[in-house]
A and B are shown apart, each in its own frame.
Chain A
Amino acid sequence: MAKLSRRSFLKAAGSASVLPGVIGAAGIGTAAEAEVSNKTGKAAAATSGPAFFTPNEAAFIEAACARLIPLDELWPGAVEAGVPNYLDKQLGGAWGAGERLYRSGPWQAGTPSQGYQLPFTPAELFRNALRGVEADLKAQGKVFKNLSGDDQDAYLKSLEAGGKDLNGVPSELFFQILLGMTVEGYFSDPAYGGNKDMAAWKMIGFPGAYASYYDLVDQHGVRIARAPMSIADAPPMEHMHQGPDIPAKL
Chain B
Amino acid sequence: MAQRLKEVDVVVLGVGFVGSIVAKELAAGGLKVVGLERGDPRDTVPDFQGPYVHDELRFAIRKALMQDNTREAVTFRNNAGQTALPVRRWESFLPGTGLGGAGVHWNGQTYRFQAADFILRSHVEERYGKGFADPELSIQDWGVTYADLEPHFDRFEYLLGTSGKAGNLNGKIVEGGDPFEAPRARDYPTPPMKEHYAGAIFRKAANGLGYHPYPQPSSNLSQPYTNPEGLQLNTCVFCGFCERFACEHYAKSSPQTVILPVLLKNPNFELRTGCQVQRINLDSTGKKATGVTYIDAAGREFEQPASLVISALFSFNNVRMLLLSGIGTPFDPATNKGVVGRNYAYQTMSSAQAFFDESVNINPFMASGASGTMINDFAGDSFDHAPHGFIGGSYIGAINTNGRPIEYHPVPPGTPKWGKGWKEAVARHYNHTVSMTIHGSSMPRRANYLDLDPTYKDAWGQPLLRMTFDFPQNDLKMAQFVTNKAVEIGNAMGAKVVAGSPRKGPYTVTQYQTTHNTGGTVMGADPQTSVVNPYLQCWDVPNVFVIGASNFAHNASWNPTGTIGALVYWAIDALKSKYLKAPGALVQA
* A7-15, A50-58, A126-134, A183-191 - interface stretch: A183-191
Known: A100-B69, A184-B406, A205-B431. A222 touches B361 (CB 8 A): yes
Query: For window 52-94 of chain A, which residues contact chain B by CB distance below 8 Å?
Result: 67-70, 72, 74-75, 77
Most buried by B among A75, A188, A191, A220: A220
Selected from B236, B363, B455, B457, the residue in CB contact (under 8 A) with A224 is: B363
Q: Mark B226-270, 1 if CB is under 8 A from A, else 0.
A: 000011101111111100000011100000010001000000000
Interface size on B, residues (CB 8 A): 83
Contacts of A243 in B (CB 8 A): 44-45, 232, 250, 257
Contacts of B302 in A (CB 8 A): none
Q: Contact between A217 and B418 (Cβ–Cβ < 8 Å)?
A: no
Selected from A68, A112, A192, A240, the residue in CB contact (under 8 A) with B49 is: A240
Closest-CB distance, A196 to chain B (whole angstroms): 15
Query: For window 28-65 of chain B, which residues contact chain A by CB distance below 8 Å?
Result: 43-46, 49-52, 54-57, 61-63
A103, CB-defined interface residue at 8 Å: yes
A19, CB-defined interface residue at 8 Å: no
Q: Contact between A72 and B420 (Cβ–Cβ < 8 Å)?
A: yes
Selected from A72, A112, A231, A234, the residue in CB contact (under 8 A) with B424 is: A72
Residue of A nearest to B64 (CB): A100
Q: Mark A203-237, 1 if CB is under 8 A from B, else 0.
A: 11111011111101110111110000001001001
Q: Contact between A104 and B457 (Cβ–Cβ < 8 Å)?
A: yes
Contacts of B250 in A (CB 8 A): 241, 243
Q: Contact between B240 and A100 (Cβ–Cβ < 8 Å)?
A: no
A38, CB-defined interface residue at 8 Å: no
Q: Contact between A70 and B419 (Cβ–Cβ < 8 Å)?
A: yes
**Could you tell me the distance between the alpha carbons of A111 and B108 in the complex, rounded to whole angstroms?**
34
Residue of A nearest to B62 (CB): A100
Contacts of A69 in B (CB 8 A): 418-419, 422-423
Contacts of A245 in B (CB 8 A): 261
Known: A102-B86, A115-B89, A241-B250. A214 touches B237 (CB 8 A): yes
Contacts of A116 in B (CB 8 A): 88-89, 510
Contacts of A140 in B (CB 8 A): none
A148, CB-defined interface residue at 8 Å: no
**Could you tell me the distance between the alpha carbons of A63 and B269 in the complex, rounded to whole angstroms?**
60
Closest-CB distance, B551 to chain A (whole angstroms): 27
Query: For window 195-215 of chain B, which residues contact chain A by CB distance below 8 Å?
Result: 195-197, 200
A101, CB-defined interface residue at 8 Å: yes
**Could you tell me the distance between the alpha carbons of A240 and B249 in the complex, rounded to whole angstroms?**
6
Closest-CB distance, B144 to chain A (whole angstroms): 34
**Could you tell me the distance between the alpha carbons of A189 and B162 in the complex, rounded to whole angstroms?**
32
**Could you tell me the distance between the alpha carbons of A189 and B61 in the complex, rounded to whole angstroms?**
12
Contacts of B200 in A (CB 8 A): 220
Query: For window 84-123 of chain B, which residues contact chain A by CB distance below 8 Å?
Result: 85-91
Contacts of A241 in B (CB 8 A): 234, 249-250
Contacts of B249 in A (CB 8 A): 239-241
Q: List 5 A-B contacts (CB under 8 A).
A: A74-B427, A115-B87, A187-B56, A188-B61, A213-B365
List residues of chain A with CB under 8 Å of any chain B CB.
67-70, 72, 74-75, 77, 95, 98-104, 106, 108, 110-117, 153, 156, 160, 179, 183-184, 187-189, 191-192, 200-201, 203-207, 209-214, 216-218, 220-224, 231, 234, 237, 239-241, 243-247, 250
